[in-house]
Amino acid sequence: MQKGLSWRHAVIAGSILCSTLMVGNAKAQEETREPQSSLSIPLAPAVAVQKETPVYHCTGSHSLLQKLPAGDFPVTYLNAGAVSLAVLPVEGQTLVFTNVMSASGAKYVADRFVWWTKGQQAFFSEDQADAGSPSVCEEVKLSHTGTEKQTR
């Protein structure tokens, strides 16, 4: 009889634990559904993070240029060990592009878009069969006074 009671306690305790975990998991999922204005990525082991924010000016396909901000705009590059990201505004949203294998330069992808850099030049395209030519973007070097722009 004592063994049966002990087994029942274990089942009850297990049920309570499962219920608690399910409620905790549901709360965690609810918390992540709210809009966030920043993103944090834990890195293990800890590595140094390099951040660069050059400014670009793009020319080319009108349909592609409409997806980018008008005029000059910044692109933030984040490099942390094997993780390389490019953050840029596309269609009024901040997209985080991740680095993928490429034959030459650094190729980044997000959603259906490709951002490919080589030196001070970048190419922006939409990854579709009928996408056509990419927009060509040149890194803009701001003068020391900040009032004059020179394209590298």
Query: Does the pLDDT of residue 52 top 90, yes or no?
Result: yes
- How many beta carbons lie within 10 A of that of residue 6, not counting itself? 10
Q: What is the structure's pLDDT at 148?
A: 47
Chain centroid to CA 56: 18
Give the three-state DSSP class for 101: coil
**Burial class of 78 by CB neighbour count within 10 A (0 to 12, 13 to 18, 19+):** middle
Q: Where does the pLDDT of residue 41 fall: very low under 50, low under 70, confident under 90, or very high at 90 and above?
A: confident
**Which tens digits make up the pLDDT trace of 69-126?**
999 999 999 999 999 999 999 999 999 999 999 888 999 999 999 999 999 999 999 9
**Closest by Cα among 146, 75, 82, 145 to 110:** 75
Q: What is the structure's pLDDT at 142?
A: 78
pTM for the model:
0.70
- Which range, 19-23, 26-30, 73-77, 145-149, is most confident? 73-77
Residue 5 or residue 143, greater confidence: 143
Residue-wise DSSP of 42-99: --SS----EEE--EEEEES-HHHHTTSPSS-EE-EEEEETTEEEEEEEETTEEEEEEE
Give the three-state DSSP class for 133: coil
